[in-house]
Amino acid sequence: MLLTVLLGCSTAKTYPEMSNITEQTVTTVISHLTGDHPGGLLPHTERGIRQAASLWRKEDGSQEDFINFCLVQYCSDEHARNVLFTKLSKAFENIFGTSNQLSVELKKPVHLQGDELLPVDYILGNYEPSAHFMEDMFTNKTAFVCVLNFPNYTLEEKDTLGKEWNRLQWAYARMGDLFTHRTPAFLNQEMAQALGNAENYIASYNIMMGNLLTEDGRRLFPRDMVLLSHWNLRDEIKSNYAGSLDGLEKQQMIQKVMEHIVCQTIPQCVINDTTYEWKPYSNTVYKEGVPVEAAPEKDRRYEYLLATYRVEKKMDPYYPNMPTAIIRNFEGSMEIPAHRIEELFINLISSEQVKKVAALIEKRLERKLEPFDIWYDGFKSRTAIPEDELTALTSKRYPNAGAFRADMPRMLQVLGFTRTQADRLASRIVVEPARGSGHAWGAVGRWEPSRLRTRIGNNGMDYKGYNIAVHEFGHNVEQTLSLYDVDHYLLGGVPNTAFTEALAFVFQKRDLQLLGYPSQKMDDNTVLDIFWGCYEIMGVALVDMYVWQWLYENPDATAETLKQAVLDHARKVWNLYYEPVFGQHDSPLLAIYSHMINSPMYLPNYPFGHIIEFQLEAYFNGRMKEEGGVLADEIMRMFTQGRLVPALWMEKAVGSSVNTEPLLRAVDACDLRCEVPFATPVTNH
């Protein structure tokens, strides 16, 4: 497929400043160490020396300086190596943790609800406290101490050798991942600024739904409804499957709004502005009932994506083993090759099961499917409950962030955590009102809390906000368990962000249960809900991936040509995998996700997380039935494994690797005549 040529981009690049260490010098170091330690050298010795040599530059010292450094800093036995590892781990936790705390504080004005922002708030929010970390660690030689004694292993080596490593060996390997490049601090700061600008743009991309008009002048949405793109727009589409008044017409209008956003034909003046009224179908704007000229946003959305790409391109030469942002994202951060991700996604979205499930949805809706039905939400029990009813409940229960935080111990106990466990976890999570859609910000030092940011209106937390908050709560639980309860600090975390997304999905799926409705079992509706969610987000993720391939093939792109490329790829993926189901040709709808702009190449984590979610849910279901297990016990067991590679983590968690086949088989086993369960509260906690 398209990504088969992607990994070859830029592989001919060389490091900007090549090492000044010769092969003869490396040989001399090995010879001296062998003579000094007749009992033999540790197995990793030559690897560490060669990696340190490859990163040494003229400004670090001469050939003789390098030899002396290695002879002094080399740990000759495992005891000395472990003492060094312990000292370095403590130092890095303090550095990383305090940098994270500073970043949290500087970004609070732009992340949280509060006073009107000043220009300086954006400047400080874009500052990256850890930008100089890599540069400083090489300058003072700490990085070389790490590389010499804890060398890096490739992904292939981790996948194979890692099966036999013990916990300490895995922690050593993760220390070896810290210093594999020497990116200058100014580029790290440039990246922080580019991403910060994109985040600020997205966080204020509000559509005034009460100002939208049909062509005959009707208002479909409440006057005070304000929805953030894309999250709230998508969720409003989902909420209108519950038989609400004008539901279909509302969904169609939101789709039109989305199309204007991705095509950049949306009038600039209707974004985050209550002054104007807008008819999306004719794309006409009114002020006080009078038509006015309104300039389109044009290419602004894509300027932010292009700015991020340009910084990544500047960074490429500093990663000799991972010379593109694409490789760094997939083989580096996700530890899954891009072509493997692509194969998994295409295997599902091109499957015959898609057409079967689509036919069921069409039968339930009693109409032909339309493009926005990629967000069909009818397999969830909440779909049978009017959203107004749910919002009435959530706004009363959670009038502010403090009320949600106060209720977290109870919610955790509903999921099976003991009172002690629930209190401990909740005490390490802070809830704050977000300016944007919300997010989870994990702790880094084992003395600080994780942070749950969610949007809370003047009338309390509406159901959309609550649903997102429960998702972020799942992230926070993972962040807390995988930091505080993992045996080695540098082994903390999960294999990649798809795994934290998986637990967030597990929590989110139980949002009604946490409100007092009956618990949702792993039934046909659950299987179909996960499957349809995969089908939707996999196409979105492929567009994200293909756009980055296009950027590397077109390094001189402008915002205008990038916009056209995004639309071309969105339409191409749509026509291949979605038009056969929905009928419409050339829909650009797959390009709507805001992550493409403020979190490039993050989107593949969501469908990968859904695949993991299904395997976890299937395991939970079997464990509960066969052994009377408790969900919380399994969550704690799995999410304290630490940052192993994805395949090994899954093998230890559920006994199999990440694969779409179990989900496809489960869809085949579903009764496709199944009806939506109607849920009613069983208690009012």
- Give the pLDDT confidence score for residue 150 in this predicted structure: 98
Question: What does pTM read for this prediction?
Answer: 0.85
Peptide bond preceding 685 in cis form (omega within 30 of 0): no
> Which tokens is 433 given?
């009102």
Q: Tell me the residue type at 238.
A: K
Distance CA 259, CA 237 (A): 14
> Which tokens is 161 given?
């050798």
Residue with tokens 């962000």: 497
- Give the pLDDT confidence score for residue 245 in this predicted structure: 75
What are the backbone dihedrals phi and psi of residue 495, each rounded to the nearest 5 degrees, phi first? -55, -45
Which residues of the chain fall short of a pLDDT of 70? 1-17, 243-244, 381-384, 437, 520, 624-629, 674-685
Distance CA 554, CA 318 (A): 20
Collapse the DSSP code of 512 into the 3-class scheme (helix H, G, I; strand E, B; otherwise coil) and give the result: helix
- Give the pLDDT confidence score for residue 629 in this predicted structure: 57
What is the dihedral sign for C-alpha 575, 579, 581, 587?
positive
Distance CA 429, CA 449 (A): 5
- Give the pLDDT confidence score for residue 156 in this predicted structure: 93
What are the backbone dihedrals phi and psi of residue 282, each rounded to the nearest 5 degrees, phi first? -90, -5
Strand partners, 434: 112
Number of H helices, E strands in the chain: 30, 8
> Which tokens is 320 given?
């000799």
> Which tokens is 365 given?
């809706």
Collapse the DSSP code of 291 into the 3-class scheme (helix H, G, I; strand E, B; otherwise coil) and give the result: strand
Q: Using CB atoms within 10 A of its CB, is residue 677 exposed (0-12), middle (13-18) or buried (19+)?
A: middle
| Cα dihedral 242/247/253/259 (nearest 10) | 20
- Give the pLDDT confidence score for residue 114 in this predicted structure: 85
Residue with tokens 């809830």: 431
Separation in Å, CA 542 to CA 255, 322, 345, 569: 20, 21, 8, 9
Distance CA 344, CA 612 (A): 12
User: Who contacts 388 (Cβ-Cβ below 8 Å, separation ≥6)?
Assistant: none
CA angle 609, 611, 612 (to 5 degrees): 65
Which helix (H) or strand (E) covers residue 122, if one does? helix 119-125
- Give the pLDDT confidence score for residue 673 in this predicted structure: 72
How crowded is residue 129: how many other Cβ atoms within 10 Å of its Cβ? 17
Distance CA 13, CA 319 (A): 9
Chain-centroid distance of CA 325 in Å reads 16
Strand partners, 441: 451
> Which tokens is 621 given?
């279901």
The answer to whether the beta carbons of residues 227 and 206 sit under 8 Å apart is yes
Annotate 389-423 with DSSP letters as a single string: HHHHHHHHH-SSHHHHHHHHHHHHHHTT--HHHHH
The answer to whether the beta carbons of residues 553 and 9 sit under 8 Å apart is yes
- Give the pLDDT confidence score for residue 625 in this predicted structure: 58
DSSP label at 7? G
- Give the pLDDT confidence score for residue 672 in this predicted structure: 83
